[in-house]
Structure 1
Amino acid sequence: MEPNNEKSIGVQLTWPIKQSSRVPTPATPQAEDQKIEQGSSKKRKTSDIWNHFTKIKDGATTKAICLNCSATLSAQSNAGTNHLWRHYHRCKSEPRQSVLVPRNSQSLPELIRPPKFNQEAMQECLVEMIVAHQYPFSMVEHRSFREFISALQPKFKMIDQATLQTECMNLYKKRKAVISKQFDDHPSKIALTLEHWSSLDTSSFLKISAHYINPQWKLISRTIAFRLLPPPVDANVIVECITDVLEDWKLLNKCGSITAESSNSNDLAVNKICEMLKERQLLKSTDDYFHVRCAAGAMKEIVQEAFKTTQEAISKLRRIVHLVTATEASKASLQEVAGNCGLPSNKLPSRDILSRWDSTYSMISDALNFQLAFEYLQATQPEYLDCPTALEWLQLKTLKEALEVFHESVSSLSKTDLPSANRSYLNMKKIERHLSKPEHYENNHSINIICPMANAFQKYWARLREFSEIASVLDPRLKLQYLQFSLVKQHGVLVAGEKLTISKNRLICPTIPQLRV
């Protein structure tokens, strides 16, 4: 049957042109005959099939040689061109034979549909990648990176640093508009947290985060500001920063509470914000829970009290840890001595970071495993003469045991994706029970460490207790039953009944509807 090109099958074949710049048009034999002789002049035309064949004379006969596979076919004038077209369509050596160019890519399955290039979409992905991974803006001008992107998508036009900066700000404004609308649509109050940061050059920064619970009962947290605080940092500077952020995000009428670490500047700043909101009638005058003390910050302050009493022992330990971890030779020497003493030598003590008390706890905990090795080095090598004394090693051991419950509590708060207020009550009660153990008050060195911690705990817990009790009662897994159980266990039935009555009165006071954290 002769090919019929009148009916389209949705696929168009394209082939390279070998001898002519004209694109071949598949035709029927009738069309070929019409092309050979047309019009009144009856002038002979040349068929497009000869773009793919060449004529040669073989004696008295004429033959056609395929330019792709070198096949020999008849080219006599009375043979026509139908057989040449049939060979061309099925010639396996034709380089473009297997390449299909769909007329409509939407008719193909999604898995094999050719992707549509979008310069704006790729540019937005590039900006998001650089922001998410904190890559330098100069990355877009690196030669190797440009070559890599060009190999992936030759059509993509790489942007320069100036354009990248502009696109980053556009992305920030776009995301900010989305988050701002979420804040506007949220019907309840929003809780803020303040966190102070310091750079290596001692510059101070304030990180402000907003938290709320969405209709699906999921805690949503968003960082809404990270501002540089001009020196000297005092309450007025903090108030100005917080007010500017609240006005920028239109959250003055939605701010329900502020959580911050306990410090003179923070306490004064939050109190000023509270008074300002009350003056503008954006906060009820009876709201006593606007300023929420940070539980992790309170733990840090309590631990610092213990560090003060063992400062000399910690300083000596820090010096020898720096000494044994300075070179590979010193590390190998400690491991060899530890092995001879029968101690595990796979994990050496790590240096601590002065601004992070949990790293100091880890240093003390690891170093206690090498106490015998350090004492041997102290007796045999002069550079280790300044090791802690036997009494100081005992102080470090007591300190490690005292800080263990703090380390567990902070770890539990930092590892969870939902660090809500109800968790603070459970952790603080665990610390209170630990500090109240009688064995901590049996000797002087233990008393010198535990007493300052217990006094500091009572100071900070007095500010946190009421709010934490309310948060625990609002937890459907605990409610009043757990609070009652905890109070009875600590104070007895009579005292617990009085304290439970006070807690119930706080729960029904008019300030609770304002508290949506």
Structure 2
Amino acid sequence: MENEEVMGGTSDPVDKLIDVDEDDDDLVEVELEDVPVTVGTQKRKAKRRKTSAVWAFFEMLPAKGDGDKPCCRCKKCGNKYVSPGNYGTGTLKRHVESCYKKRTNDVAQLLLGNKDGSMSVSSSKFDPDTFRELLVAAIVMHDLPFRFVEYVGVRAIFSYLRSDVVHITRNTAKADTLKIYKRERDRIKSMLKSAPGRISLTSDLWTSIITDGYMCLTAHFLDKNWVLHKRVLNFCLMPPPHNGISLSEKIYNLLCEWGIENKVFSVTLDNASSNDTSVDMLRTQLNIKKALVCQGDLFHLRCCAHILNLIVQDGLKEIDGVVQKIRECIKYVKGSQGRKVKFFDSVKQMSLDGKKGLRQDVPTRWNSTFLMLESAIFYRRAFHHLELTDSNFKHCPIADEWNKAEKISTFLAVFYDATCVFSGTKYPTANLYFQQVFMVYLTLRQGSESEDEYVRRMAEQMLVKFEKYWSEFSIVLAIAVILDPRFKLQFVDFCYKKLYGVGGSYEYLKVREKLFALFGEYVSNVPTPSSTTNNRGKAVQDLQFKSFSKETMFVMKEFDCFESDDVVGQTQKTQLELYLEEPRMDRNAKLDILSFWKGNQFRYPELAAMVRDVLSIPISTVASESTFSVGGRVIDQFRSALKPDVVEALICSRDWLYGDKDLAESQLDDLTEDIMKMDINKENNDEPPSMGSNADMV
């Protein structure tokens, strides 16, 4: 009976273990299994081949008992499956697709975790490859040294968590980092190539702790979904000389390496004479290839944040005595713990809110000086009380000096607000800048007519510098705000008349002329998404007409002629004119301008193409400068021997993998130093106030 069942039945054990997949063309030889086969009353062992490619990723497990079904195990993750037999290998194939599909991008996301600090992805199976990728990604993410993987304590932790873990060396970690950089570089190059619009650039120079010069080149662009992107393209060694010729050649060569030399719209640089020379040469090179719009008239922009800093620094020289006195007051309080306790007692005696931070400025950053003045004025009465109780405190300003500081602080508030916009890490679109510059200019003109002599002198000094630097490219800022449906041309007209009176009409007409000239370039030269849409619409139209009779088509053409006769004599308006003639939106409306133009890109295709390029213009080099803070951590005094290509791989990979997550978003308050965190509302607080960071301040 046993023989008959085996020989004549349809469930032969050989068929259960061997899967011949007719749909699988890629057959590989994997392993041979010994399978018992019954012939008559005797058993023999026959070796059969597994022909499906999926068996390259699985290994067969020995059967635990005679009645158990054969099982297999994934070589990568260790998951076990019952051997499919006659039912095909579809389950195994789906597992292979999901198991081997993981990439380092997923590992990067895993490191980011959730808001509560937990990991966003978890797995009960240990994967050595994923562990290695996580380790290298952590080095990139947290600016760790490569020798981190060789720390005895770190290796002890890894061995405790997994006894069979394979430790890697610093050279292996470095090689893996370079692999990540090369792969991500190809991805960024593809992203730049597929960007529908032009690309704006920022660039700046930085000197490392060992005096090596580095250049940071950053790209700013909108993708097809109207999402604004910032990507550090290069952080490369820039050997001397750092003159205009060398800078222009370096930037041009980098653009050619990325393949975007024909897609550049503008470049924003720091205010330096060498940069002016390099921009002129770079503009000439690109104009030879006819790669710029308007022959490069809007190509060069100066960093707004730097210009504003220069303007205010000139003005602060007029009140340097008052600022210096307040600075000395704060230095005195900071000098010892005993002085802090005395000052804290004065704060309580004057019934002031001790939660507001007392800050010391960084003299080269005027906005930190503004914050210092603001906090010192708040504790004005506490300083007076300290002067009475501490005979060694001799720097307290007199009443007239405090009044002067208050007026200067009020005057500088507008400049501080503008700096916050210009220097934001999550920088806004270009349409928001014109309002800030207008308010700054208006404040300066009003200040130059102030009754207070020191305010007037300060404003006049600042006004000269403002007109020197900002008169040339205010047109770019004006064009950007015109493309905001809440402002349009009316706002530019209003601003110029407010500033110049009757003479504002000339400035307004100059902006309007440049606006229409720029739009004309896009109508005639720039390809837009409308071409694809029109072709698709034409195909649909042709398909519809194929179902019409000839008589019907003749009638429809007659209708077309009728419509044409109806509009005879009317001048066809451009998309820009139609947009400008539409009523403005409410100025206070909360508008996502990128979403607005995304929704109107098919209504105004040529205009939307221009908007895409203008709104992505960066008005400051803060995006490039923020990379230098990372560079300072990567090339510290202990890692100054890193080769330039490794430095670039670390910094660029960090930006490409984690830049959008703002892991270390810089705040303006980070430019200042908190002296103390004072909290007079705590009960039973017998100890002096502790030092606190800006993040702890309320």
TM-score computed with the length of structure 1 as normaliser? 0.72
Q: Are positions 1:263 and 2:272 aligned together?
A: yes
Q: Are positions 1:364 and 2:343 aligned together?
A: no
Q: Which residue of structure 2 lines up, in the alignment, with residue 44 of structure 1?
A: none
Question: How far apart in 2 are the matches of 1:114 and 1:265?
Answer: 54
**Equivalent residue of 2:374, what SS?**
helix
Question: How far apart in 2 are the matches of 1:459 and 1:196?
Answer: 23
Question: How far apart in 2 are the matches of 1:344 and 1:146?
Answer: 49
Q: Which residue of structure 1 lines up, in the alignment, with residue 461 of structure 2?
A: 452
Aligned residues of 2:358 and 2:375 also touching (Cα < 8 A): yes
Residue of structure 1 aligned with 2:336, choices 300, 321, 327: 327
Residue of structure 2 aligned with 1:351, choices 352, 360, 365: 360
Q: How does 1:495-510 map to 2 (within 5 A)?
A: 495-509=503-517
Deviation at 1:232, TM superposition (A): 6.0
**Equivalent residue of 1:224, what SS?**
strand
Q: How does 1:36-435 map to 2 (within 5 A)?
A: 102-103=81-82, 117-197=126-206, 205-230=214-239, 233-283=242-292, 286-378=295-387, 381=390, 383-415=392-424, 417-435=426-444
Q: Which string of whole-angstrom CA distances, capped at 9 and with x for unpartnered residues, describes residues 114-142 of structure 1?
A: 86654333322221121011122111112
* Count of aligned pairs between the two proteins: 429
**Equivalent residue of 1:317, what SS?**
helix
Question: How far apart in 1 are the matches of 2:83 and 2:144?
Answer: 40
Deviation at 1:311, TM superposition (A): 2.5
Q: Which string of whole-angstrom CA distances, capped at 9 and with x for unpartnered residues, describes residues 487-506 of structure 1?
A: 444455x5555443332211
Q: Which residue of structure 2 lines up, in the alignment, with residue 68 of structure 1?
A: none
Q: Which has the larger displacement, 357-366 or 388-397?
A: 388-397
Q: Which has the higher contact order (CA 8 A, sep 6+)?
A: 2
Aligned residues of 1:230 and 1:237 also touching (Cα < 8 A): no
Q: What CA RMSD, in Å, does the superposition of the two structures yield over aligned residues?
A: 3.8
Q: Which string of whole-angstrom CA distances, capped at 9 and with x for unpartnered residues, describes residues 335-382 of structure 1?
A: 112222333333342222233322222112111122233344445545
Q: Which string of whole-angstrom CA distances, capped at 9 and with x for unpartnered residues, describes residues 387-434 of structure 1?
A: 445444344323322221121122234447353221110111122232
Deviation at 1:467, TM superposition (A): 1.0
Q: Which amino acid aligns with 1:145?
A: V
Question: How far apart in 2 are the matches of 1:386 and 1:234?
Answer: 45
Q: Kindly tell me: are residues 292 and 438 of structure 1, through their superposed partners in 2, closer, same or farther at Cα, counting changes over 3 Å?
A: closer
**Equivalent residue of 1:437, what SS?**
helix
Question: How far apart in 1 are the matches of 2:405 and 2:241?
Answer: 37
Aligned residues of 2:448 and 2:459 also touching (Cα < 8 A): no
Question: How far apart in 1 are the matches of 2:294 and 2:224?
Answer: 28
Q: Which amino acid aligns with 1:184?
A: K
Question: How far apart in 1 are the matches of 2:304 and 2:464?
Answer: 16
Q: Which amino acid aligns with 2:82?
A: R
Q: Kindly tell me: are residues 407 and 171 of structure 1, through their superposed partners in 2, closer, same or farther at Cα, counting changes over 3 Å?
A: same
Q: Which has the larger displacement, 415-424 or 440-449?
A: 415-424
Structure 2 unmatched runs, 5+ = 1-10, 14-40, 43-64, 69-78, 85-90, 99-121, 527-609, 615-698
Q: Kindly tell me: are residues 104 and 299 of structure 1, through their superposed partners in 2, closer, same or farther at Cα, counting changes over 3 Å?
A: farther
**Equivalent residue of 2:286, what SS?**
helix
Q: Kindly tell me: are residues 104 and 448 of structure 1, through their superposed partners in 2, closer, same or farther at Cα, counting changes over 3 Å?
A: farther
Deviation at 1:443, TM superposition (A): 1.4
Deviation at 1:163, TM superposition (A): 0.5
Aligned residues of 2:266 and 2:301 also touching (Cα < 8 A): yes
Aligned residues of 2:213 and 2:237 also touching (Cα < 8 A): yes
Q: Kindly tell me: are residues 178 and 445 of structure 1, through their superposed partners in 2, closer, same or farther at Cα, counting changes over 3 Å?
A: same
Question: How far apart in 2 are the matches of 1:176 and 1:491?
Answer: 49
Deviation at 1:169, TM superposition (A): 0.9
Q: Which has the larger displacement, 160-169 or 264-273?
A: 264-273
**Equivalent residue of 2:410, what SS?**
helix
Q: Which residue of structure 2 lines up, in the alignment, with residue 464 of structure 1?
A: 473
Q: Kindly tell me: are residues 348 and 384 of structure 1, through their superposed partners in 2, closer, same or farther at Cα, counting changes over 3 Å?
A: farther
Q: Which residue of structure 2 lines up, in the alignment, with residue 31 of structure 1?
A: none
Q: Which has the larger displacement, 414-423 or 252-261?
A: 414-423
Q: Which amino acid aligns with 2:517?
A: C
Q: Kindly tell me: are residues 339 and 279 of structure 1, through their superposed partners in 2, closer, same or farther at Cα, counting changes over 3 Å?
A: same
Q: Which residue of structure 2 lines up, in the alignment, with residue 32 of structure 1?
A: none
Deviation at 1:154, TM superposition (A): 4.4
Question: How far apart in 1 are the matches of 2:315 and 2:262?
Answer: 41
Q: Which amino acid aligns with 1:148?
A: I
Q: Which amino acid aligns with 1:235?
A: G
**Equivalent residue of 1:508, what SS?**
helix
Aligned residues of 2:223 and 2:229 also touching (Cα < 8 A): yes
Q: Kindly tell me: are residues 235 and 331 of structure 1, through their superposed partners in 2, closer, same or farther at Cα, counting changes over 3 Å?
A: farther
Q: Which string of whole-angstrom CA distances, capped at 9 and with x for unpartnered residues, describes residues 265-295 of structure 1?
A: 2222222211222244444673211101222
Q: Which residue of structure 2 lines up, in the alignment, with residue 74 of structure 1?
A: none
Q: Which amino acid aligns with 2:411?
A: A
Q: Kindly tell me: are residues 149 and 230 of structure 1, through their superposed partners in 2, closer, same or farther at Cα, counting changes over 3 Å?
A: same
Aligned residues of 2:301 and 2:473 also touching (Cα < 8 A): yes
Q: Which amino acid aligns with 1:207?
A: C
Q: Which string of whole-angstrom CA distances, capped at 9 and with x for unpartnered residues, describes residues 158-191 of structure 1?
A: 2110000111111111111110111222343211
**Equivalent residue of 2:346, what SS?**
helix
Q: Which string of whole-angstrom CA distances, capped at 9 and with x for unpartnered residues, describes residues 292-322 of structure 1?
A: 1222222112111122222333233223312
Q: Kindly tell me: are residues 335 and 309 of structure 1, through their superposed partners in 2, closer, same or farther at Cα, counting changes over 3 Å?
A: same
Q: Kindly tell me: are residues 231 and 347 of structure 1, through their superposed partners in 2, closer, same or farther at Cα, counting changes over 3 Å?
A: farther
**Equivalent residue of 1:170, what SS?**
helix
Question: How far apart in 2 are the matches of 1:326 and 1:260?
Answer: 40
Q: Which amino acid aligns with 1:449?
A: M
Aligned residues of 1:399 and 1:449 also touching (Cα < 8 A): no
Q: Kindly tell me: are residues 486 and 114 of structure 1, through their superposed partners in 2, closer, same or farther at Cα, counting changes over 3 Å?
A: closer
Question: How far apart in 2 are the matches of 1:200 and 1:318?
Answer: 28
Identical positions, percent: 27
Question: How far apart in 2 are the matches of 1:146 and 1:376?
Answer: 57
**Equivalent residue of 1:251, what SS?**
coil
Question: How far apart in 2 are the matches of 1:200 and 1:163?
Answer: 26
Q: Which has the larger displacement, 403-412 or 481-490?
A: 481-490
Q: Kindly tell me: are residues 307 and 226 of structure 1, through their superposed partners in 2, closer, same or farther at Cα, counting changes over 3 Å?
A: farther
Question: How far apart in 1 are the matches of 2:173 and 2:446?
Answer: 60
Question: How far apart in 2 are the matches of 1:378 and 1:114?
Answer: 63
